[in-house]
Amino acid sequence: MPRHFGEKARTMSDESVPHPTPENSRRISVDYLARVEGEGAMHVWTRDGVVEDVKLKIFEPPRFFEAFLRQRSFTEAPDITARICGICPVAYQMSACHAMERAAGVKVEGPLRELRRLLYCGEWLESHGLHVFMLHAPDFLGYESGIAMAADHRPLVEMGLRLKKLGNTIGSLLGGREIHPVNIKVGGFYKVPRQRDLDSLREELKWGADASEKTARWAADLPFPDFEQDYEFVSLSHPGEYPMNEGRLVSNRGLDIDVANYEDHFEEQHAPYTNALHSVKKGSDSYFVGPMARFALNFDRLTDRCRSVARECGLDGICRNPFQSIIVRSIEMLYACEEALRVIEQYERPDRPAIDVDPSGSRGWGLTEAPRGSLFHRYDIDDDGLITSAKIVPPTSQNQLRIEKDLREFVPRYLELPDDKLQWHCEQAIRNYDPCISCATHFLKLERIDATS
Amino acid sequence: MSTIRVIGVGNLFRGDDAAGRIVARELASRIPSDASVSITESSGEAGELMESFDGVDCVLLADAIEANAEPGRVFRFDASDTPLPAPEFACSTHALGLSESIELARALERLPSVVIVYGIQGESFEHGKEISPAVRRGIAETMERILGDIGIL
């Protein structure tokens, strides 16, 4: 048996997916997606060599964060939402802060804005470092897990752990601690670092840039299946920088909107077989958020070094093969190191760690680029500064339909393989998106938000 | 004299998942800090855990587990030479869990020579819940057993 599916005690029962399985049909079920954050299950139905249906299911208990936020002070939103995910707390904090600042009609600028970018660099390094080396690399090298790979590829795994640790170190320095940063607040920080604190990161960041470049070149030589798709990529785009916190939301099919208009263009649908929500673009269908989308839509805003490494890796401005996202993530790690060095180089310690923000009696929207894609928040705040409604759209629920579509395209090519091999390939196709299933699980109450809007 | 590190693993905000960290916290007040025994807490993040393995001969870990047993029951595993049993430690709330961290450290030859893991069966892992009374008793038992280990090791 590949991996440890059978060892997972708490898998979902097959009976929960009512679907006919006649004799000439074949069903592949992966009841536990190894190496994906959180827990999920995938079901593929085929008949006579034709894929009939693909469903991706989420079975972590629903989370009540949106409801939980109601009647809490606006100042609490960053810390409460950060708990949705242990891998990308910074993204939740940033989207929440930006939404509150937008509601208050203020902008965090100058060194505080720069420190937020630095913090985001840390999160990208930490998250991509885990995914590239421990989750994705084993797929291409033929190991069932990062641990199994470690014994044979020790220098590679050590390099990955060191890159990930560099991200953690940045997070601890700015966030106060590694996993759930406590130093972030609406308007800025509780405490800002001194120049010498930041200088301590310099040497390791230079190493990190070289290591990321090496990783991208190594990844470019991996054996990728031929699987280019015609995606609608969606990400932030900012005229002056590779996007993290700010910009307009754009796509390669003409979308170009203020994030305040997000809900005019996208809606979440509740599929009966999962307690995560599927996000769709109104009037079309699935879309793709994450590193490949950012890369495709913002290639010219990467550094010279990132662009030239990308080109040498065969990616000249766009990558349409999701298996090659491992190269794109490596290039984003290189960017994160270079960008962090730039911020440190130009840092001037701000006089105040935060600006005043009062969003009372208003509505605000925030969308920032989590490692795995765009993360949207919207809040309504009453006159006392309490949240009356909250909406959170995580990247994985935006990618979920797209993942299912990839599987529908992908499975027919490998139908001749035995079940365990096909299963493994399907898992890889899902893992390409680095889905954070624990983020994507939140509970929907359909009547709640629209009623007040 | 061998150096020992006690590591309490868990999430302080998820009910009984805090058990391991409370073991570490409460032991800290009972064990005089000296060069041979150190006590630390960990969120369970793999990199952080592996770093806490560095530089000592023996680690004693405590974490909440789901072993389908009565809440508060304490299991002791010796992971010095063999992996932890998978089902009990598989459903970690952490990205790469405790057992993965141990196996990764083993593969990278960064594992101390003695690795003892105490698993305390949890009752509720819900956000914002208090530690359940049964798990409280499991915490007390684990502390006594760790103190016993330290006396022997």
Mean pLDDT of A322-349: 98
Number of residue pairs across A and B with CB atoms under 8 Å? 63
Picking from A310-324, B48-62, B74-88, B132-146, which range would have the lowest pLDDT averaged per residue? Answer: B74-88
The residue among A419 and B110 whose pLDDT is bigger is B110
Structure confidence at residue A23 (pLDDT): 53
Picking from A6-10, A288-292, B64-68, which range would have the lowest pLDDT averaged per residue? Answer: A6-10
- Measured CA to CA, the distance from residue B121 to residue B143 in angstroms comes to 15
Q: Which helix (H) or strand (E) holds A334?
A: helix A325-345
Picking from A126-130, A331-335, A422-426, B39-43, which range would have the lowest pLDDT averaged per residue? Answer: A422-426
Show me where the domains of chain B are located: 4-152
User: Which pLDDT band holds residue A174 (cuts at 50, 70, 90)?
Assistant: very high
- Show which residues on chain A lie within 8 Å of chain B, measured between beta carbons: 4, 7-10, 37, 39, 63, 83, 86-87, 130, 134, 145-148, 150-151, 154, 157-158, 161, 164-165, 168, 178-179
Tokens of A394: 């995580």
pLDDT at A154 over 60: yes
Q: Does B40 touch chain A (CB under 8 A)?
A: no
Residue A146, phi then psi, degrees to nearest 5: -60, -30
Structure confidence at residue A271 (pLDDT): 72
The residue among B34 and B122 whose pLDDT is bigger is B122
Picking from A96-100, A247-251, A327-331, B91-95, which range would have the lowest pLDDT averaged per residue? Answer: B91-95
Structure confidence at residue A81 (pLDDT): 87
Q: Does B21 touch chain A (CB under 8 A)?
A: no
Single-letter amino acid, residue B16 = D
**Could you tell me what percent of chain A has a pLDDT over 90?**
61
- Measured CA to CA, the distance from residue A432 to residue A131 in angstroms comes to 9
Show me where the domains of chain A are located: 65-398+439-452
Q: Does B55 touch chain A (CB under 8 A)?
A: no
Mean pLDDT of A239-263: 97
How far is B112 from chain A, CA to nearest CA, in Å?
A: 16
The residue among A305 and B153 whose pLDDT is bigger is A305
pLDDT at A36 over 60: no
> Mean pLDDT, chain B, as a whole number?
86
Cβ atoms A106, A185 nearer than 8 A: no
Picking from A184-193, A321-330, A404-413, which range would have the lowest pLDDT averaged per residue? Answer: A404-413
Structure confidence at residue A336 (pLDDT): 98
Helix (H, G, I), strand (E, B) or coil at A123: helix
Using an 8 Å CB-CB cutoff, list chain B residues near A154: 107-108
Single-letter amino acid, residue A48 = D
User: Closest chain B residue to A437 measured between Cα atoms?
Assistant: B95
Structure confidence at residue A146 (pLDDT): 85
The residue among A176 and A225 whose pLDDT is bigger is A225
Structure confidence at residue A363 (pLDDT): 98
pLDDT at A385 over 80: yes
DSSP designation for A67: H
Which of B47, B50, B95 shows the shortest C-beta gap to A87?
B95
Which of A37, A39, A161 shows the shortest C-beta gap to B95?
A37
Structure confidence at residue A408 (pLDDT): 87
Q: Do A154 and B96 touch (CB under 8 A)?
A: no
Mean pLDDT of A92-105: 97
What order of strands is seen across the sheet that includes strand B114-121?
B37-42, B4-9, B58-65, B114-121, B74-78
Structure confidence at residue A11 (pLDDT): 30
Q: Which of A14, A46, A65, A9 is nearest to A448 (CA)?
A: A65
How far is B152 from chain A, CA to nearest CA, in Å?
A: 32
Q: Does B5 touch chain A (CB under 8 A)?
A: no
pLDDT at A66 over 70: yes
Number of helical (H) and strand (E) elements in chain B, helices listed first? 5, 5
Which of B48, B86, B107 shows the shortest C-beta gap to A150?
B107
pLDDT one-digit tens code per residue, A393-414: 889 889 988 998 998 888 888 8
Beta-bridge partners for A266: A281
Mean pLDDT of A215-237: 96
- Measured CA to CA, the distance from residue B73 to residue A383 in angstroms comes to 50
Using an 8 Å CB-CB cutoff, list chain A residues near B66: 9-10
Mean pLDDT of A88-101: 95
The residue among A31 and A221 whose pLDDT is bigger is A221
CATH topology of domain B4-152: Rossmann fold (3.40.50)
Single-letter amino acid, residue A359 = P
Which of A9, A151, A165 shows the shortest C-beta gap to B87?
A9
How far is B46 from chain A, CA to nearest CA, in Å?
A: 9
pLDDT one-digit tens code per residue, A10-20: 232 333 444 44
- Measured CA to CA, the distance from residue B72 to residue B41 in angstroms comes to 20
Structure confidence at residue A65 (pLDDT): 82
Place of tokens 């929500």: A277
CATH of A65-398+439-452, one of 3.40.50.2300, 1.10.645.10, 1.10.357.20, 3.40.190.80: 1.10.645.10
Tokens of A431: 């893992």
Structure confidence at residue A5 (pLDDT): 24
Structure confidence at residue A12 (pLDDT): 29
Q: Do A157 and B108 touch (CB under 8 A)?
A: yes
